[in-house]
Amino acid sequence: MYTFAIRKTQEEDREWIKRWLKFQWGAEIVIVHDQIYHPAELPGFIAFEHVSPEPIGLITYLVTGQECEIITMDSLREGAGVGNALIEAVKERARSCDCSRLWLVTTNDNLSALRFYQKRGFRIVKVNVGAVDRARKQKPEIPEIGDQGIHIRDEIELELIL
């Protein structure tokens, strides 16, 4: 059995998060629904292996009013429950903030993310046509071709009513 722990991000994690984002996402910024985010400055949770201090997962989020938006989510141990544990940590936090909605955006090529979130009760509620094309103008590192050879063009919004 794979064991890991989850903890809140802390101020001393910020530089590591910036490096992680550059490695995972190609830059320290994320552009989602035509807005620029700096995930290293947002609240989040980190997953760690019990046997090693090396992080194996990160989720960042933003609470606005009664909504909690997941900005980034990555796991280096697919199938081990890390992503699920990170989602649960954010759900618990969102509920403690009296949020009624947990939501996120992924790209049209990210079939594994669409499967992952829908298996956890999220529903597709919106397609933002051309959003990635617009984001690429500000962040040219975004590739044109993504998973499975699919052109990355659109954002898909998913939500979970809490």
Terminal-residue alpha carbon distance, the chain: 30
Asked if 83 and 116 count as a contact pair (C-beta separation under 8 A), the reply is yes
In this prediction, residue 4 carries a pLDDT of 86
Domain map (residue ranges) of the chain:
4-161
Q: 4-161, which class in CATH? A: alpha beta
In this prediction, residue 49 carries a pLDDT of 84
Asked if 140 and 133 count as a contact pair (C-beta separation under 8 A), the reply is no
pLDDT of the chain, 162 residues: tens digit per residue: 468 889 999 999 999 999 988 888 888 889 898 899 999 999 999 998 877 778 889 999 999 999 999 999 998 877 678 999 999 999 999 999 999 999 999 999 999 999 999 999 999 999 999 999 999 998 888 899 998 999 999 999 999 999
In this prediction, residue 2 carries a pLDDT of 64
Backbone angles phi, psi at 116, to 5 degrees: -55, -55
- CB count within 10 Å of CB 159 equals 18
Specify the pairing of strand 123-128 against strand 101-107. unpaired
Specify the pairing of strand 101-107 against strand 67-75. parallel
Asked if 117 and 64 count as a contact pair (C-beta separation under 8 A), the reply is no
